[in-house]
Amino acid sequence: MRPAALPDPELLKAANINPTTGLATDYLNHYNEIAMMIATLRDMPEMREPVLDWRPIGYTTHFQITGFRDRELAVQAYESVPPEVKARFFAARRRVELAILEVQDLMEAAPEASSQLAARAPEIFAAITRLGGVINGAEDKALASAQSDVDSLFD
């Protein structure tokens, strides 16, 4: 069964939802927050517990629990995302989540090494950039600039 057509492109643009993919970059906030916490572990060891407490949440759940102004439209558009876009989205999201979950596993296995795990933040930010590329329909551009973007965060 084919998903329904995406809502009106102008309506999507006004809500900061990509009119081609039907996805909103607001979802990246869920991952950016944890990546920033991981990046601060070296200087802020008290971030260990919040990092360990973090759990992935699905796209629709994110919009149901956040204050995103056009949450209903975001969920409606998500239900109409083309299958090939959704497949790339799931794959990119999984790469982000696996990188974060690996940091959590390492923190639990060796609590004394938590501060050293801040060095894993750039790879997580790069994975988030790739996920953003899928959301924005520009995976190739995102892949080409991911390392540059991540490096600039740490300059």
Q: How confident is the model at residue 117 (pLDDT cuts 50, 70, 90)?
A: very high
pLDDT, one tens digit per residue, over 21-35 is 999 999 999 999 999
What pLDDT shows up at residue 114?
86
Confidence of residue 74 (pLDDT cuts 50, 70, 90): very high
Q: In the prediction, which pLDDT does 150 show? A: 56
Distance (Å, whole) CA 65 – CA 67: 7
Give the pLDDT score at 7: 78
Predicted confidence at residue 32, as pLDDT, reads: 98
Region 32-56: mean pLDDT is 96
Q: Of residues 109 and 6, which shows the higher confidence score?
A: 109
Q: What is the pLDDT of residue 155?
A: 56
pLDDT (tens digit, 9 = 90+) per residue, 132-144?
A: 999 999 864 444 4
Give the number of other Cβ atoms within 10 Å of residue 107's Cβ. 20
Q: 85-113 pLDDT, tens per residue?
A: 999 999 999 999 999 999 999 999 998 88
Q: What are the pLDDT digits (tens) for 50-68?
A: 999 999 999 999 999 999 9
How far apart are alpha carbons 151 and 12 in whole angstroms? 31
Sorted by sequence, the CB contacts under 8 Å of residue 68 that are 6+ apart come out as 24, 26, 74
CA dihedral angle for residue 52, residue 32, residue 43, residue 95, rounded to 10 degrees:
60
What is the C-alpha to C-alpha distance for residues 131 and 11, in angstroms, rounded to an integer?
23
36 Cβ contact partners less than 8 Å away, ≥ 6 residues apart: 121
